[in-house]
Structure 1
Amino acid sequence: MKGVRDKVYSAWKAGKPPSPAIGTLGIRVRSIEESRAVLEMDVDEHLHNLSGTMHGGVMVDIADAAMGIAVASTLKPDEDMTTIELKMSFMRPHIKGRLVAEGTIAKRGRRIAFTEAVLTNMKKEVVAKCSGTWLIMSA
């Protein structure tokens, strides 16, 4: 059985989403490095809230995925992980076009990882920032 790290890398190399949820939202993995992942998605009206801007929950989804893949890139074959806390700060609305999420690990211990994600629009303006805490456990 493949570990989480291997599953993420295998899906990325095959051009597939690492999880069904990511695929449903149209999130794509652009790159993965040790402790870092860059994801992207194209936003239009089907991802809007009632105010006509990108739904905040979808922004949380791409941030969570970017940070999660960054953590997954550091896992041993017998390790798994799960999100235990997220904090999202929305800085400007995003209406349409490409949204990029860069997830990084600020600090990783044996059982806890602290992560950050920055979401930017096509003009490279920061749309939102997220911080997260992850539990690393035996698979």
Structure 2
Amino acid sequence: MAWTLEDEIAWTTRNPFRVHLGVDIERVSRDGSGDCEISLVVNDNLVQAYGMVHGGIHCTLIDTVLGTAVRSAFQQDIGPLTIDLNVSFLRPSGKGRIYSSATIVKMGRQIVVGVADVFDADRRRLATGRGSFALRESPRHRASEPA
């Protein structure tokens, strides 16, 4: 059983925080790599006093896309919970659509580590980060793995 783009979109529509922010699911890999991408439109409510995207939005996008990456990598919802998040802000940006892409770098039985970037519409990197996630549920074996 694969965790598809449609699964992640359905999961997002049941997540009040993602709905409130207006998160869109752009891409979810089907190969178990965890590669994925999300986006949102930065409006007046998501900028700080200087008119730039609030850094918390970059953190949120990185954390959010990494959760998507964990589900995609395990091809199921195993309840990833963030236990560590490190974000570096690289350049400011303003209103408009921004994107965040992620990939998993270490899949353990209890802890997963991933990396993610935030980009503007011109694909300039705005922020980069790394997150670690504890798994609430034990992953079920994939069909391609021995039981």
Name the TM-score, length of structure 1 as normaliser: 0.84
Match of 1:134, SS state, is strand
User: Residues 18 and 8 from structure 1, CA distance in 2 versus in 1: closer, same or farther, beyond 3 angstroms?
Assistant: farther
Measure the CA separation in 2 of the matches of 1:28 and 1:77. 19
1:27 aligned residue: 23
Name the TM-score, length of structure 2 as normaliser: 0.80
Deviation readout 1:22-67 (Å, 9 max, x if unpaired): 1101111111113122001111222111121111111111111100
Q: Which runs of 5+ in 1 are unaligned?
A: none
1:1-139 correspondence runs (5 A): 9-12=6-9, 17=13, 19-33=15-29, 34=32, 35-75=34-74, 79-138=78-137
Measure the CA separation in 1 of the matches of 2:65 and 2:101. 6
**Pairwise CA distance, 1:16:** 5.3
Count matched residues.
Answer: 134
Q: Which runs of 5+ in 2 are unaligned?
A: 139-147
User: Residues 78 and 105 from structure 1, CA distance in 2 versus in 1: closer, same or farther, beyond 3 angstroms?
Assistant: closer
Match of 1:74, SS state, is helix
Structure 1 runs (4+) greater than 2 angstroms displaced: 5-11, 14-18, 74-80
Q: Is the 8 A contact 1:70 1:103 kept in 2?
A: yes
Match of 1:79, SS state, is coil
Q: Is the 8 A contact 1:7 1:18 kept in 2?
A: no
- The sequence identity of aligned pairs, in percent, is 26
